[in-house]
Structure 1
Amino acid sequence: MGDSTSVMGHWVNHSYAPASDGGVMESLNPLDDSVFAKVAEGTPEDIDKAVQAAHEAFGSYKDSSTNEREAWLCKAAELLEQRREEFIRLLMEEGGSTRKKATFETNKSISFIRAAVGMVRHVSGKTLPSDYPGRISMTWRSPRGVVAVITPFNVPLIKASRLCANALATGCTVVLLPSEEHPVISLKFAELLKDAGFPAGTINVVTGNGYNIGDSLTAHPLVKAVSFTGSTVVGKHIQKLCAEHNKHVTLELGGKNPLVIMNDANLQKAVEGAVRGIFMHQGQACVSSSRVYVHRDIYPKFVEIYAKVVSGLGMGDLDDPETIIGPIISDRQRQRVKRHIEDARDKGATIAAGGNWEGNRCAATVLLDVTSDMAAFREETFGPVVSVYPFDDFDDVMREANDTSYGLSAAIYTSDIELAMKYAKGIEAGMVHINSPSITDEAHVPFGGVGDSGFGREGTEADLEAFTELKWVTIQA
């Protein structure tokens, strides 16, 4: 965009509206911290207006026909495909995505909307046997009402497309609170849904700092379900609020995901999986493989190849398809990444690759000899930093892999299917991938984790339950 004078307002009832107090905040291009856009900085009053609009729209939208919702979702996918380049550029210029990542995210978002079309006719119940003669016993699903969707900076279009489309497919309406570091793309996505035919008030977006206005949204009495993606600390706070108000909540939080490479693994594929598993979007992904465990028999060879490949990862123009590493989103996050690297170096870790910076970009970094007293050992770095550990015994590596409060995604490379299944059963994670990277997702799968990685699951089937209430009905003949 690059216009530092105009201000984008909140999106409420199919039109832009300024903040109630006139507040404005800046969205920065993380490549050089220049002002990408100015948007309204929301207040609790703005949140209330958006929720009220969504609640009013729900009164009629819940009774919209399956044909209508299918048509609107199909049109939304079609429009996103037509406007693909616009959204790719937004991901690059507002969020620091490389073209490769931005293209992947946009294409994935199109598939998520198309998958939501199939949900429309699966908002259904079933007949049940009854203890009483002549009684017809049945269940049906009804949309919960207003859904609060809170999205992160790293995959804002993926999360908005999946969660908003799934909620709309069930007959719910939405208030979306995007990350303050990547708000414009959510406003443009809401505009796209208007153009697709969704009625006014069904999709609303309030921009602002979640620290200041998030509680006004999650605790609002008219919000009936909350879907949050973000940090574990904030997620636990939201979970407490939802518990106090008896709301359904889905949390997709952080990860410290293990990748295990056995001595019988295909080394080339394992290296490729370890590269993609951590360095996509410069490590800013909850499902990144930030811990890599390699059998000692192949550890020296793996490190040699891995460090060489990682050292060659492109840090050029974001438009270049060969560029893999883009900028870290904000100064606060850059300081976290720097602290983890410097702390590891000061305490004796070996830097096999990277460790240096070019502007706001951290080179892909491989740490060896990481010990438990280092921040990178347990904390989520959320940057292009990976720790590689040798191991001798499968049982030992299982204990090490499970030695974390997180439990989102895990992966293993091996030719032994029996061992792979033993790993899949024993690892404490919500998702396990055999001979493929931990950074994997599809529209219909139950996406989510355990422990500090989340609560509940996302996906077409999971969101049918998250966004609807199950009602039991009987008819006595």
Structure 2
Amino acid sequence: MNDQTTRSLGHWIDGDWRDPVDGVWRENLSPIDQRCAGRFAVASIEDADSAVASARQAFEQNRDAKPSDREAWLLAAADGLQNSANELVDALIVDTGSPISKAQREVATSIGVLRAAAGACRRILGQTLPSDVPGRWSFAVRRPLGVVAGITPFNVPLIKAVKHSALPLATGNAVVMLPSPQAPHMAAMLAKIYQDAGVPRGLFNVVFGDGDVVGDALTIHPDVQMVGFTGSTTVGRRVATRAAADGKRVTLEMGGKNPAVVCGDADLQSAAPMIAMGGFLFQGQICMSTSWVLAHESVHRKLCERLVNVATRLPDGDLRDPATVIGPMISDRQCERVQRLVDDAVHRGARVMCGGGHSGRTFQPTVLADVDDSMDVMKQEIFGPVICIQAFTELQDAIDRINDRRFALCAAIHTDSLGDARMFAKQCGSAMVHINGPTVQEEAHVPFGGNKDSGFGREGALVGIDELTTWQWVTAN
């Protein structure tokens, strides 16, 4: 079955829906009520090979596509997303348990990524080089890599499907995508939007299945030149190791343990809501979520009170109500994992300021005080609506504690001091630093990514050109 109205998703290969070679299908259960939201094909290695072969052939056939062609495809795809916004929002709600406000933001961000990628089509620039050889004309040009694999997560399935495809297409590559089995529908909808936008057959392919089978098959395939991955640090390391063995390029956007520093001169009325939304938006299931707060000892108590006041007032309920902020976790397993981390912290002496438990899959927004660095909740990415708060006395101490962590995705500082803000930005090892803003921020053109165990390489409409092309030196005598 490949009828999209029934949400039965075959693989999208060479511009057509295909049933799985092995005949294996799997139900996709909505985190809202555990009802079947559709079913999707489960790929075998043979299915993955077919998708790569389709991409390789399409890459060769479309080498001469003009920048204006690629620009037109991506702008038309952006319009297609805009025209399909209601359907995309509904699918995000059903597939991921996303509140409507988050789903609408995801669609809007994805449209912006497509338009930024369209602009990048005319920014793939070369260089004219001097030469010591008389009469030699020397220059360097950028060439596409070929077939690029994209492995995407459940939490922002549309944004990441677009990010792992729009710029590869803009730079002349072909794409094979493996979406999370917990949120498969976005990649399928995007495939049809790309087709309607004029993207040639085979330049964008989608296979569904498990990362340890299909992800590995794509990562080690000899015709795949690059792998773009978004997900956990554990899986990202596996991808990096396997890709490196074959000399493939990778971009890895992985876990985060993102701090917000609140200085003694900070505007708490402004900072507290930013921190709370940064920690609790989409149930904390965002790589950029604020899971750790370092508050100056002079404002620690007041900030705790304000965070609790905000957290306990965040509305849950109907996901289609624009006022709703809190929805279900993606799975029982993830909900139970967050509960174990909270319970372990409490057992070791942490104090629950609010929340601390769950009803069904709805985990209460939780603020933990009296936490120490030995607790798992302080060492691991939580990926749930939990904020841990600690005190500090000197800003340098806070910076050192942040830099001592193995994660280095993003960080925020709230202060009225320009000097402290500059010091923090200069010394903090996080890849993204925000001053008087939340940790959860994203724009289509910025160099997005992490350092250390949070990632390798960068996404973004301009910096991504470097990741997705290779230099060729040309001379003429």
**TM-score grouping bracket, smaller chain normalisation:** over 0.9
The count of residues paired between Structure 1 and Structure 2 equals 476
Range that drifts further, 392-401 or 72-81: 392-401
Question: For residue 250 of structure 1, what is the aligned residue in structure 2?
Answer: 251
DSSP 3-state at the match of 1:460:
coil
Q: Deviations over 1:257-309 (max 9, x none)?
A: 11100011111111122012111111001111111011111111111111011
Aligned to 1:177: 178
Q: 1:18 maps to what in 2?
A: 19
> TM-score by structure 2 length?
0.98
The equivalent of 2:346 in structure 1 is: 345
Match of 1:449 in 2: 450
Give the whole-Å Cα distance in 2 for the aligned partners of 1:305 and 1:278: 14
How far does residue 201 in structure 1 lie from its aligned partner after superposition? 0.3
Q: Which has the higher mean CA deviation after the structures are superposed, 352-361 or 428-437? A: 352-361
AA partner of residue 163 (structure 1): H
- Contact (CA 8 Å) 2:26, 2:41: kept in 1 or not? yes
Matches within 5 A, 1:26-41: 26-41=27-42
Partner of 2:208: 207
Distance 2:7 2:335 in 1: 28
The Cα offsets for residues 319-348 of structure 1, whole Å up to 9 and x where unpaired, read as: 111111111111221121111111112222
Deviation at 1:14, TM superposition (A): 1.2
- 1:409–1:432 CA contact under 8 A, matched in 2: yes
Letter in 1 for 2:112: S
- 1:310-389 map, 5 Å: 310-389=311-390
Q: Is the 8 A contact 2:178 2:214 kept in 1?
A: no
Q: Secondary structure at 2:465's aligned position in 1?
A: helix
Distance 1:3 1:71 in 2: 26
Q: Which amino acid letter does the alignment assign opposite residue 443 of structure 1?
A: A
Q: Work out the CA distance in 2 between the residues paired with 1:355 and 1:341.
A: 7
* CA deviation profile, 1:217-253 (whole Å, cap 9, x unmatched): 0110000111000011111111111111011111000
> Following TM superposition, by how much is the alpha carbon of 1:310 offset from its aligned partner in structure 2, in angstroms?
0.5
1:15 CA drift (Å) = 1.2
Q: Which amino acid aligns with 1:152?
A: P
The letter for the 2-side match of 1:178 is P
Structure 1 residue 6 displacement after superposition: 6.8
Offset, 1:358? 2.4
Distance across 2 between alignment mates of 1:131 and 1:446? 36
Structure 2 counterpart of 1:168, which letter?
L
Per the alignment, residue 51 of structure 1 pairs with 52
**Separation (CA, whole Å) in 1 of partners of 2:450 and 2:7:** 41
Matches of residues 269-288 of structure 1 in structure 2 within 5 Å? 269-288=270-289
- Structure 1 counterpart of 2:305: 304
1:150 aligns with 2:151: yes
Identity of aligned residues (%): 44
Tell me whether 1:136 sits opposite 2:137 in the alignment.
yes
Task: Give the structure 2 partner of residue 230 of structure 1.
Answer: 231
Q: CA deviation at 1:4?
A: 11
Tell me if structure 2 keeps the 8 A contact 1:4–1:38.
no
Q: What is the match of residue 435 of structure 2?
A: 434
Distance, in Å, in 1 between the alignment partners of 2:25 and 2:5 is 11
SS at structure 1 position matched to 2:407: coil
Partner of 1:259: 260
Contact persistence 1:4–1:36 (CA under 8 A): no
Partner residue, 2:82:
81
3-state DSSP of counterpart to 2:408: coil
**Does the C-alpha gap of structure 1 residues 428 and 47 become closer, same or farther in structure 2, counting only changes over 3 Å?**
same
Instruction: Classify the secondary structure of the residue corresponding to 2:195.
Output: helix
The whole-number CA distance in structure 1 between the counterparts of 2:107 and 2:180 is: 18
Matched residues in 2 for 1:458 and 1:116: separation?
11
The one-letter code of the counterpart of 1:54 is A
TM-score between the two structures when normalised by the length of structure 1 = 0.98
TM-superposed deviation, 1:60: 1.6
> How far, CA to CA, are the matches of 1:344 and 1:258 in structure 2?
18
Asked whether the equivalents of residues 408 and 448 of structure 1 are also in contact (C-alpha less than 8 Å), the reply is yes
| Residue aligned with 2:122, SS | helix
Q: State the Cα distance separating 1:7 from its structure 2 match.
A: 3.1
SS in 1 for 2:448: coil
Check the 8 A contact 1:141/1:471 in 2, yes or no.
yes
Aligned amino acid, residue 78 of structure 2: A
User: Residues 4-40 of structure 1: CA distance to partner in whole angstroms, max 9, x if unpaired?
Assistant: 9873211111111111100111211111221111100
Q: CA deviation at 1:137?
A: 1.0
Counterpart-to-counterpart distance in 2, 1:363 and 1:239: 35
Instruction: Give unmatched runs, 5+ long, in structure 1.
Output: none
For structure 1, which segment, 394-403 or 117-126, has the greater mean C-alpha deviation from structure 2 after superposition? 394-403
Q: Residue type of the partner of 1:409?
A: C
> What is the aligned partner in structure 2 of residue 413 from structure 1?
414
| Change in 2 beyond 3 A, CA 1:212/1:309 | same
Deviation at 1:373, TM superposition (A): 3.0
Structure 1 vs Structure 2 CA RMSD? 1.5
Q: Which runs of 5+ in 2 are unaligned?
A: none
- Partner Cα separation in structure 2 for residue 54 and residue 318 of structure 1: 38
Aligned residue identity for 1:111: G
In the alignment, the residues of structure 2 paired with residue 45 and residue 269 of structure 1 have an alpha-carbon distance, to the nearest angstrom, of 54
Q: Which moved more, 1:394-403 or 1:263-272?
A: 394-403
> 2:244 & 2:68 partners in 1: Cα distance?
36
The SS at the match of 2:167 is helix
Alignment-mate amino acid for residue 454 of structure 1: G
Shift of 1:3: 9.9
Q: 2:193, 2:369 → 1: CA distance?
A: 46
Residue 74 of structure 1 and its aligned partner are, at CA, apart by: 0.8
Hey, what's the Cα distance between the residues in 2 that align with 1:351 and 1:227? 38
